[in-house]
Structure 1
């Protein structure tokens, strides 16, 4: 059946350790952030910078940080980039084991301090289904008596061994904005990397693949027509916190998102689930 136990990192952060016949994983209560997932007999599917020191108050530079309830910079000066959910403590509400698969549910209570940013009566949950595939769901429910809008992303870091050998595929017939310019039409199904890449895609099909020296990673999305493709390359890597200067060579981010015209607007009583599914291609 496996085990699900709560442990503490050397730097003090609490996490949930998952060890089953199908996978090993680790999810931190801070940010409800998974930083490790490895199907049995295969390579890990998530990347974390060795420069990250797992300090309270900092989102981990790797795994899947949660961008909520806004993606990118807020319209209000000095508000935190990518929202506040990734640096707050979430609560583990339930663990359900079904054969060798595990389901975990986390919720975030909005503090009085954070109601400055988010005064709406909504419920936000992170749901993890762990087997030989990783399925992550960011669920929003509107309990207010008026519509509520938000943007969000599951900011997934992937290990790709060599950025110059990476081929990202599944981008046909999409458009993207990059560095505030565009929209541009994607010229082909395939994206190669030889410079800083920071693209916000729209009208994107629900499945992409990352062709790496270690195999092909399948990245699926549900209830999302937008995604972010990011590699900081050389110059920006030198400015990033908790990130080594050469880390850009071994990672890429491909993020399930609801951004731009794909933002979420919830009617009273309505729920929405942003889902990403990640697996090694068989």
Structure 2
């Protein structure tokens, strides 16, 4: 069996520490954000900047921030980038240990103060399934009487040892927008990194691979035809918050998403589950 314990970070953030025969993990109540996942006998699968100080009210610069109920900048002045879910406290609804597999579920109870951003009657939850593989599912349900439209992403940061040696594959035939230009059609199956990369992909196959000096990471998606591939490179790294100037050398983001024409449209009573599954091959 395993153990699940609630603890408090020195800066005050509450988190859940999970330990089983297959993995070790840590999930913060703020943002329901997992920042650490290490399969036993293998290297960690998530990256966090050493510049992050885990202050309440700031999304952690790494792990898997939850971008909800919109991805990127809102078209409304004063609305927070990537939504508000990643800086709010979620409630842990359930914990299950089945043999060596741990399952945890968190729910976001939207406060009155956030109704200015999101007046809709929806329920959003996030489910973690932890074994030698990390599976994260973002579940939306429209509980109201009107159609609801949203965009979202599981903004996963991966450790890749050396950006110059990284090859990302599985992109053949997809379309992407980069720096508000496009859409372009992906040429070839692989993406290499020698500059800032900020691509929003659509019509994308459900599995991509990150070929790193430490091995190959498989990144799968369900109920998603879009994803974001991001590395800030040299110039942007200098002004990103909670990010060291040279952090771009050791990380990349590949994010399961529902964005652009893949946005989520929920009719009354409908539900949808966006899932990403991550493992070392």
Residue equivalent to 2:163: 163
Structure 2: distance between partners of 1:78 and 1:181? 25
Structure 1: distance between partners of 2:196 and 2:172? 21
Structure-to-structure mapping, 1:31-46, within 5 angstroms = 31-46=31-46
Residue equivalent to 1:27: 27
Post-superposition shift, 1:280? 0.1
Post-superposition shift, 1:17? 0.1
In angstroms, what is the RMSD of aligned CA positions? Answer: 0.3
Structure 2: distance between partners of 1:78 and 1:113? 14
Post-superposition shift, 1:2? 1.1
* Structure 1, unpaired ranges of 5+: none
* Structure 2, unpaired ranges of 5+: none
Residue equivalent to 1:112: 112
1:175-216 deviation digits (Å, cap 9, x = unpaired) = 100000000010110000000000000000000000000000
Structure-to-structure mapping, 1:54-69, within 5 angstroms = 54-69=54-69
Q: Which secondary structure does the structure 1 equivalent of 2:57 belong to?
A: coil
1:63-91 deviation digits (Å, cap 9, x = unpaired) = 00000000000010111000000000000
Q: Which secondary structure does the structure 2 equivalent of 1:116 belong to?
A: coil
1:28-68 deviation digits (Å, cap 9, x = unpaired) = 00000000000000000000000000000000000000000
Q: Which secondary structure does the structure 2 equivalent of 1:276 belong to?
A: strand
1:97-143 deviation digits (Å, cap 9, x = unpaired) = 11100110000000000000000110000000000000000000000
> What is the TM-score when the length of structure 2 is the normalising length?
1.00
Residue equivalent to 1:154: 154
Q: Which secondary structure does the structure 1 equivalent of 2:81 belong to?
A: coil
Structure 1: distance between partners of 2:74 and 2:111? 19
Residue equivalent to 1:142: 142
Q: Which secondary structure does the structure 2 equivalent of 1:113 belong to?
A: helix
Post-superposition shift, 1:152? 0.1
Post-superposition shift, 1:146? 1.2
Residue equivalent to 2:196: 196
Structure 1: distance between partners of 2:11 and 2:44? 23
Post-superposition shift, 1:261? 0.3
> What is the TM-score when the length of structure 1 is the normalising length?
0.99
Matched, 1:70 2:85: no
Matched, 1:98 2:98: yes
Residue equivalent to 1:216: 216
Q: Which runs of 4+ in 1 moved over 4 A?
A: none
